[in-house]
């Protein structure tokens, strides 16, 4: 991402955030429930070590105002609110501002429609094929951090999964974790242990993971009994599903799967399927019983999905994502209409119309 044109932007964000933080004491952080979101929250708290922080996790699986516990944030009476890696759009940010007033900082690498001061998201401004690998990476670039390399690398491992081993970032990440004597496998394992918490709906586990990471670092995450147990539990279902899942349809480069799961393992399954079918676009329709939500997960390591994402958003679907992955959320079990529309739009945007 270090293309020259973005440097003035990063500088401005750094100056603006630093200035705002100088006049703030209490900071409420709303962070994504996944590894990158957690690592980003830890990173920001370390950068501004003398401030007071409270941490808020949105309702797992949802990206909307209702997912955010406004009351608990208001009770904390923060001087500034930071939203990290959460991928929400303009309407949510505006509603949040209306509800809570005050000052808002957003740092994110998801594709959103946000463009204004203190919305630090280069993805919306500069369209780079490789995007920004993680929010921790973006924080590193904004604040020119040379410390906390393992924490920054963890965010990338969280968002890449084992695809990291094939990515062109591998060498850089390896260098970053060398000083702590951690291997790539261990880094990925740590991110899976942390992500197991949101996958099984363990909010306390998410807070716990963040505290371990903040106090002791990645090494202790790997040894943590609660996180180990969560990962074991999640792995059981993952292995069961992956051993029996078969496609329900193949259309051009698109391959479609459909499955019901107890846990929110959509992104893991989707990544595995995309990894296995890496010359295609995989579409995974996953009803998650725990959440009562159906997801249409689309990922490709070959095709850019940006246009399809934008088009589906324009057509009113609830879509979040990045260049090589997006997810349509359906708050009901049935998602036939959304499924048909997604497949149609994918075919259309691929054919280049």
> Is 257 or 268 the residue whose CB approaches Mn ion more closely?
268
Q: Which residue is nearest to Mn ion (CB)?
A: 36
Q: Which of 61, 107, 159, 269 binds Mn ion (CB under 5 A)?
A: 159
Q: How far is the CB of 40 from Mn ion (least distance, A)?
A: 8
Task: Report the C-alpha gap between 134 and 299 in whole angstroms.
Answer: 17
Mark 34-73 with x for binding to Mn ion (rule: CB under 5 A) and - for no binding: --x-------------------------------------
Give the interface segment with Mn ion, choosing from 28-36, 56-64, 245-253, 285-293 (CB under 5 A). Answer: 28-36
φ, ψ for residue 32 (rounded to 5)? -55, 150
CB neighbour list of residue 77: distance below 8 Å, 6 or more residues apart: 26
Q: How far is the CB of 63 from Mn ion (least distance, A)?
A: 13
Q: How far is the CB of 45 from Mn ion (least distance, A)?
A: 17
Tokens found for residue 347: 């075919």
Q: How far is the CB of 93 from Mn ion (least distance, A)?
A: 17
- Please report, for the chain, how many H helices and E strands are present, in that order: 14, 11
Residue 55 Cα distances to 11, 14, 78, 204, 266, angstroms: 26, 22, 11, 12, 25
> Is 36 or 224 the residue whose CB approaches Mn ion more closely?
36
> Is 135 or 263 the residue whose CB approaches Mn ion more closely?
135
Q: Which of residues 118-137 bind Mn ion (CB under 5 A)?
A: 135
Q: Which of 33, 63, 85, 241 binds Mn ion (CB under 5 A)?
A: 85
Max Cα–Cα distance, the chain, nearest Å: 56
φ, ψ for residue 139 (rounded to 5)? -60, -40
Q: How far is the CB of 34 from Mn ion (least distance, A)?
A: 7
Give the interface segment with Mn ion, choosing from 55-63, 152-160, 180-188, 221-229 (CB under 5 A). Answer: 152-160
Residue 100 Cα distances to 66, 105, 219, 271, 335, angstroms: 14, 13, 37, 36, 34
Q: How far is the CB of 51 from Mn ion (least distance, A)?
A: 23
CB neighbour list of residue 268: distance below 8 Å, 6 or more residues apart: 161, 195, 199, 234, 238
Query: Footprint of Mn ion on this chain (CB under 5 A)?
Result: 36, 85, 135, 159
């Amino acid at each position: 991402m270090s293309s020259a044109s973005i440097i003035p932007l990063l500088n401005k964000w750094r100056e603006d955030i630093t200035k705002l933080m100088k006049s703030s004491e209490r900071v409420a952080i709303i962070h994504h429930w996944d590894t990158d979101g957690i690592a980003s929250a830890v990173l920001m708290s370390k950068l501004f070590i003398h401030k007071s922080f409270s941490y808020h996790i949105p309702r797992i699986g949802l990206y909307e105002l209702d997912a955010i516990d406004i009351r608990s944030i208001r009770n904390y009476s923060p001087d500034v609110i930071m939203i990290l890696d959460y991928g929400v759009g303009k309407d949510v940010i505006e509603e949040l501002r209306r509800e809570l007033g005050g000052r808002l900082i957003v740092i994110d690498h998801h594709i959103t429609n946000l463009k204004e001061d203190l919305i630090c998201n280069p993805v919306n401004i500069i369209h780079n094929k490789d995007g920004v690998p993680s929010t921790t990476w973006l924080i590193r670039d904004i604040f020119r951090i040379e410390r906390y390399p393992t924490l920054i690398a963890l965010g990338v491992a969280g968002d890449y999964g084992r695809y990291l081993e094939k990515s062109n970032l591998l060498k850089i990440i390896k260098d970053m974790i060398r000083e702590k004597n951690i291997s790539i496998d261990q880094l990925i394992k740590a991110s899976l242990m942390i992500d197991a918490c949101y996958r099984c709906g363990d909010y306390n586990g998410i807070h716990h993971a963040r505290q371990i990471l903040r106090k002791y670092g990645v090494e202790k995450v790997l040894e943590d009994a609660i996180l180990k147990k969560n990962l074991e539990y999640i792995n059981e279902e993952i292995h069961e599903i992956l051993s029996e899942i078969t496609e329900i349809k193949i259309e051009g480069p698109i391959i479609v799967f459909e499955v019901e799961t107890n846990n929110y393992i959509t992104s893991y399954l989707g990544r595995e399927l995309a990894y296995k079918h890496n010359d295609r676009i995989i579409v995974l329709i996953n009803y998650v019983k725990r959440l009562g939500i159906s997801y249409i997960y689309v990922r490709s390591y070959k095709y850019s999905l940006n246009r399809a994402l934008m088009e589906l958003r324009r057509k009113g679907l609830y879509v979040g994502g990045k260049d090589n992955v997006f997810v349509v959320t359906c708050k009901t079990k049935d998602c036939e209409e959304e499924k048909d529309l997604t497949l149609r739009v994918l075919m259309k945007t691929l054919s280049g119309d």
